[in-house]
């Protein structure tokens, strides 16, 4: 359970830092203000959860802290919906709906205050923790509200994506990536509230939500989202089996009476040896690249084929044709042209092309 507690501390620090960073980056921007407030609320949520899970409170205090955390978890998604409307420039179109969401969130928070046992009826020991919250009969209202807001957020993003252009499209892609990370991470916590003994490992993926969207907010020249998705898939492929193996290994070693420090140290040593002695990480990166770039392009194949052609094909025209064919096949493009410099004329001319008219390919040039 040290993993879970470590994830709580990590998230709390990251989201507090992101809140301060975004606000100081542009204090006058409304979108920065809303996003900074949302991150601060999420940091407060992790603080309340951490106080409970670290066993610093009595049973009554644990229940109170987790109920406060749920108040934050209701207001936070509404703020995120507000943020999405600002990002997609649809606030004026959805002003009434936004007011309704804020009103409903405050009503649910009021119900949690008036009927606390209806939402969180008990705190029980589980996963080695002193107190773990158990949802009450009204807890489904919280889940239902989250689902409605999440659907509304996705709808606004999809609609905004269709109406946007330029860097705004990439911003929305980053937001989608963040939503997926948050939904996946928090989704592993919900079963715990219903008494299902499922290890909430998804907390380790929640920081990607804050980092990816913060990057989209503060940067106007965004990195190709496909590269980040590839790295994200690689991290998921990498971390998921490592965390699972670490938990299983530590549990097995501790069953033989080994201390927490010794069992964790041995399991970490085993993981390091697996990385050093096998192509495990390389295979995972290949799998991530295949999933992301399949059907669009394979830049690695283009590089490999072009390098091989450079040392095996002596005729310049055959070499250029081979490179053109490789680009068309892997990038699935309709038009390609390769320019070479003519030193005497001080210009670049098309020496090989695909999909271009003969007159254009022969007459087009760039002056140096």
CATH of the domain at 186: 1.20.1070
Closest by CA position to 209, among listed 49, 33, 10: 10
Q: Mean of the per-residue pLDDT values for the chain?
A: 77
Clarify whether residues 15 and 142 are in a common domain: yes
Q: What is the mean pLDDT of residues 17-29?
A: 91
Please name the helix (run of DSSP H) or strand (run of DSSP E) that holds residue 272, with its range, or none: helix 260-277
- 67-97 core/surface letters (b: 16 or more CB in 10 A; e: else): bbbbbbbbbbbbbbbbbbbbbbebeeebeee
pLDDT at 295 over 70: no
Domain housing 288: 225-294
> Which of 104-113, 126-135, 183-192 is the most confident on average?
104-113
What confidence score (pLDDT) does residue 55 get? 60
pTM of the model: 0.61
pLDDT at 225 over 60: no
Clarify whether residues 8 and 148 are in a common domain: yes
How does residue 207 score in pLDDT terms, banded at 50, 70 and 90?
A: confident
Q: What is the mean pLDDT of residues 208-224?
A: 78
Clarify whether residues 130 and 218 are in a common domain: yes
Give the count of alpha carbons within 13 A of 26, CB side only.
10
Q: Taking a C-beta distance cutoff of 8 angstroms, is the pair 365, 348 a contact?
A: yes
What confidence score (pLDDT) does residue 61 get? 77
Closest by CA position to 86, among listed 98, 74, 75: 98
> 221: how many CB neighbours lie within 10 A of its CB?
6
pLDDT at 271 over 60: yes
End-to-end CA distance of the chain: 64
Q: Taking a C-beta distance cutoff of 8 angstroms, is the pair 167, 222 a contact?
A: yes
User: Which residue did the predictor score with more confidence, 69 or 192?
Assistant: 69
List of residues 6+ apart from 233 with CB closer than 8 A: 287, 288, 291, 292
Clarify whether residues 141 and 78 are in a common domain: yes
Clarify whether residues 244 and 232 are in a common domain: yes
pLDDT at 151 over 60: yes
What confidence score (pLDDT) does residue 293 get? 56
Q: What is the mean pLDDT of residues 241-256?
A: 73
Report the CATH number that the domain containing residue 303 is assigned in CATH: 3.30.450.40
Give the percent of the chain with pLDDT over 70.
Answer: 70
Q: Which among 294, 316, 331 is the end of a domain?
A: 294
How does residue 256 score in pLDDT terms, banded at 50, 70 and 90?
A: confident
User: Which residue did the predictor score with more confidence, 32 or 264?
Assistant: 32
pLDDT at 229 over 90: no
Q: What is the pLDDT of residues 84-99, one digit of tens each?
A: 999 888 898 899 999 9
- 126-154 core/surface letters (b: 16 or more CB in 10 A; e: else): beebbbbbbbbebbeebeebbeebbebbe
How does residue 260 score in pLDDT terms, banded at 50, 70 and 90?
A: low
Clarify whether residues 79 and 208 are in a common domain: yes
List of residues 6+ apart from 190 with CB closer than 8 A: 143
Clarify whether residues 179 and 318 are in a common domain: no
Q: Which among 222, 248, 272 is the end of a domain?
A: 222
Clarify whether residues 192 and 282 are in a common domain: no
What confidence score (pLDDT) does residue 17 get? 94
Least confident range of 29-38, 65-74, 120-129, 181-190: 120-129
Q: Work out how many domains the chain is built from and give that number.
A: 3
Residue 267: both structure tokens together: 């399991």
Clarify whether residues 135 and 283 are in a common domain: no
Q: Taking a C-beta distance cutoff of 8 angstroms, is the pair 132, 123 a contact?
A: yes
Clarify whether residues 199 and 271 are in a common domain: no
Clarify whether residues 290 and 326 are in a common domain: no
> Which of 84-88, 175-179, 274-278 is the most confident on average?
84-88
What confidence score (pLDDT) does residue 287 get? 65
pLDDT at 127 over 60: no
Clarify whether residues 24 and 54 are in a common domain: yes
Q: What is the pLDDT of residues 318-347, one digit of tens each?
A: 888 888 887 777 666 788 888 888 777 678
Q: Which among 294, 320, 355 is the end of a domain?
A: 294
What confidence score (pLDDT) does residue 155 get? 92
């Amino acid at each position: 359970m040290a993993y879970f507690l470590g994830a709580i501390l990590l998230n709390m620090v990251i989201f507090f830092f992101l809140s301060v960073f975004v606000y100081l980056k542009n204090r006058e921007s409304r979108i920065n203000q809303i996003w900074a407030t949302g991150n601060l609320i999420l940091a407060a949520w992790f603080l309340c959860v951490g106080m409970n899970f670290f066993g610093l409170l009595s049973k009554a205090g644990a229940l109170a802290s987790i109920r406060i955390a749920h108040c934050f978890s209701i207001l936070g998604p509404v703020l995120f919906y507000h943020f999405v409307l600002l990002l997609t420039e649809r606030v004026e179109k959805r002003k009434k709906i936004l007011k309704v969401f804020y009103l409903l969130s405050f009503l649910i928070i009021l119900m949690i205050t008036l009927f606390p046992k209806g939402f969180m009826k008990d705190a029980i020991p589980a996963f080695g923790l002193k107190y773990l919250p158990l949802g009450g009969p009204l807890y489904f209202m919280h889940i239902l509200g989250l689902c409605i807001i999440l659907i509304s957020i996705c709808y606004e993003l999809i609609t905004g994506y269709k109406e946007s252009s330029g860097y705004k499209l990439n911003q929305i892609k980053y937001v989608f990536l963040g939503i997926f990370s948050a939904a996946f991470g928090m989704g592993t916590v919900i079963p715990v509230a219903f008494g299902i003994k499922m290890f909430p490992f998804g907390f380790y993926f929640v920081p990607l939500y804050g980092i990816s969207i913060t990057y989209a907010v503060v940067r106007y020249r965004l990195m190709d989202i496909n590269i980040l998705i590839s790295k994200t898939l690689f991290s998921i492929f990498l971390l998921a089996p490592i965390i699972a193996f670490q938990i299983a290994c530590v549990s097995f070693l501790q069953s033989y009476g080994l201390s927490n420090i010794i069992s964790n140290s041995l399991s970490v040593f085993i993981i390091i040896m697996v990385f050093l002695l096998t192509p495990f990480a390389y295979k995972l990166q290949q799998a991530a690249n295949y999933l992301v770039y399949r059907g669009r392009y394979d830049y690695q194949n283009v590089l490999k084929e072009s390098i091989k052609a450079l040392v095996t094909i002596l005729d310049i025209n055959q070499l250029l044709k081979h490179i053109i064919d490789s680009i068309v096949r892997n990038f699935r493009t309709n038009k390609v042209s390769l320019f070479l410099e003519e030193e005497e004329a001080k210009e670049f001319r098309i020496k090989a092309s695909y999909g271009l008219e003969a007159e254009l390919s022969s007459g087009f040039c760039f002056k140096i």
